[in-house]
Structure formats: C-alpha cells, structure tokens
Structure 1
Amino acid sequence: MSSSTTIRQTETVERLFAAGLAELREVGHEALTIRSVAVRAGVSSATAYTYLASKNHLFAELFWRHLAEAPAVAAMGSRVERVQAAVRSLTTRIAEEPELAAAMSPALLGSDDDVARLRLRIGAEFAARFDAALGEGCEDAVHEALLLAFFGALLQAGMRLMTFDEMVDRLAPVVAVIVA
C-alpha cells in the first residue's frame, strides 16, 4: 500500500469522524445513520461502512477521542482532592458534548468487537486518570472501587437518573470514603 493511499484513508476516516460528530450534534444519536454521516463526509455508504461497523462503533470512537483529548488534571492537594478533581474533570469533559454523552451509554453497552475494543480503551483512559490522581502506593482495591463507583455513576447519568453535575456532587463524598 502506498503512503498516498494511507494518507487518503486517514483523511477519509477523519472526515467521517468530523461528519459523525456534526451529525450527532445536529440530529441526535437516535436519528443519526451511517448513511447520513457518509453523505455529510462526502463518501459513499460503502466507504463509510469500511471504517465504521455501526453507529455504536462511531459513538464509542468519538467518545474515546473526546476523552483522550482532555487535559490532565494538575496533581495538587490531598489524594482525596486529586481524585475528586479527576472525577470533576472527566465528568465535565463528558458533559461538554451532551449529544455524545447521551449516545455513549447505549453505544458502550453494544456487543460488536469494535465497540468492545474501544470500551477497553475508554476504561484504560479512566483508569490512567485515577492512577495519576491516586499516586504511588495505592492499594488495588481502592483503584477498583473508584472505577466501579465511577462507572456506576456514569451509567446512571447515561440513563438520565441524574445529571452530570449531580454525578460530580454525589461522587465527591463517595471518593472521600473510598480513598480515605
């Protein structure tokens, strides 16, 4: 494969993701189709399906990219304060894209292989943020409890049982109990 082919493929993928995010913002996750994303990106549906297995795959990829672009939180304060800041930062980042946040829960519960692969990347991103906030010498059980609490709250927010602002407020005392 020539480098021009690889560059062209990369450009196509980036156009699809940009079109997917624009389409998601405009019509929401339920109305979005891979065909509508393809039209917006200026490619055929067949080309879009070459790179996107499903709209859940698109949403999971967009969500992972959105998280990965978030700046790291400064490591200041006590361990509890650092973890609370990491939770606030991640939750704020998720809430910045409301349509993506709404699409994220059902998408990540999808069963296709591409979503499963991205679910692991997303989990690793959360874990890395918590590891950085916890610092050296933290017990594995503390790390695991934080991840379970965060994912549980994320699922509740995704199900609209609470807002992302409420998620931060409700997790702050939970973090204090787990980390203390």
Structure 2
Amino acid sequence: MSSPVSQESTRRRLSAQQAETVAKLTDAAVEVLNTDGFDGLTVRMVAKRAGVAPATAYTYFSSKSHLVAEVFWRRLADGVPAPDTDLPPFERVAGVLRAVSLVVAGEGQLGGAVTVALLGTDPDVEHLRWRIGGFIRVRLAEAVGVDPENPGPVVDALEMLYAGGLVHAGMGHLSYEQTSERLVAAARMIMENQ
C-alpha cells in the first residue's frame, strides 16, 4: 500500500501511473547517487536508469536538486511517524530526532546530496524546504506537547539543533548514527533547562 506522499508531487497530485513513474525516478536517483555521486547525477541519467523518457522525468523534476530533495521528503514523511503520546515528552522528542537523523543513514551518498540539494535556489526545492521544515516542526511540537502554530522557544531550539546536526552530518563530519545520539543528548540539555 502506498503512502499519501507517494501520490503527490511538488507540482501536482499524481495518478497511480504517475506515482509509479515518480517512484521509479526517486529509486533510480538513489542508485545513481551511490555510483556517481551528486556531482555526477543528472535528471537525464536518472531517467535512463528508471527506464523513463528524459522529457517525462523533467515534467516531474526541474533539476537534480529537486529530485534529491523529493527523495528526502518522501523518506522523511514515510519514516518519521507521529510521536507516541504514551511516552514522556523527552522520549517523544528523542524518537523524532532519531527518526529524522536516521532517514538517510546507511544510504551511501544520499545524505551529503540532500544537504547540497536543500541549500540550492531551485523554486521547487524551496517549496520542499518549507514542506520539510513544517513537517519536522509539527512532529517536534507534537513531541513536546505544544501547539505547532505557536510552538515556543523549546521547539525553536530543537529545530536549530536538528538543522545544524544534519548539515554537520551531511558534510561528513559525523555519521548519521553518531549525529542522532548527539542530537538526543543536546535535546536532553535543552529540555532539562527549559
């Protein structure tokens, strides 16, 4: 069964056949990243690997940064569930931070590519940055137990924490697993001192 995210794109709602095409392209993008890196990746190369016409690929993705950002968005939306309300707030926050930071762990060059892609200027990437940031803000607010529309300073601090941590990991300074545990330790300090 596909998730609701698999039926959407940054440009439009997708039919089942279109969603399958986008899934082929996003899967192929990860394969190309792992063999050729972000610098070697092109939408045309991904289209070929996916068995899709390049013109079709460009109807869904305006650039390689857009394609990589979409891969991250889909993995994030599918891999970071709503926090378990039966757990205490810190455990909920730790679960969200771990899930966010491990979404690209073990994925070869995907993490670094996501960092580069999300910092780009493509308007479709900007749209996804807002979507990704809003999604993580909601998850963190739910974990802390506050209104996502008015999350307050703890959620603001946690957002700055995860953003810095993921850029740090994307630059290759730490693994995503190491980053995950450092994020949790720093979150504990933030929440204990609120």
Answer yes or no: same fold by TM over 0.5. Answer: yes
Partner of 2:46: 37
Alignment partner of 1:164 out of 155, 172, 176 = 176
Report % sequence identity: 39
Partner of 2:30: 21
> Which one has the bigger helix percentage?
1
CA distance in 2, matches of 1:48, 1:134: 40
Counterpart check, 1:148 vs 2:157: no
Matched AA of 1:120: W
Partner of 1:179: 191
Secondary structure (helix, strand or coil) at the match of 1:111 reads: coil
**Farther off after superposition, 123-132 or 92-101:** 92-101
Q: 1:113-124 to 2 correspondence within 5 Å?
A: 113-124=123-134
Partner of 1:111: 121
Alignment partner of 1:84 out of 83, 87, 94 = 94
Q: Matched residue pairs, number?
A: 176
**Farther off after superposition, 95-104 or 9-18:** 9-18
Q: 1:133 to 1:98 in 2, by over 3 A?
A: farther
CA distance in 2, matches of 1:7, 1:83: 35
Superposition RMSD in Å: 2.3
Tell me how far 1:42 sits from its aligned partner. 2.1
Matched AA of 1:58: L
Tell me how far 1:6 sits from its aligned partner. 5.0
Q: 1:119-130 to 2 correspondence within 5 Å?
A: 119-130=129-140
Q: 1:42-81 to 2 correspondence within 5 Å?
A: 42-72=51-81, 73-81=83-91
CA distance in 2, matches of 1:139, 1:50: 37
1:83-135: CA deviation from partner (whole Å, max 9, x where unpaired)? 12221122222314232212110000000100000111111221122122111
1:132-156: CA deviation from partner (whole Å, max 9, x where unpaired)? 2111479511111110111011111
**Farther off after superposition, 155-164 or 87-96:** 87-96
Secondary structure (helix, strand or coil) at the match of 1:29 reads: helix
Q: Which runs of 5+ in 2 are unaligned?
A: 1-13
**Paired residues of 2:98 and 2:180 also in contact (CA < 8 A):** yes
What's the TM-score once normalised by structure 2's chain length?
Answer: 0.80
Partner of 2:9: none
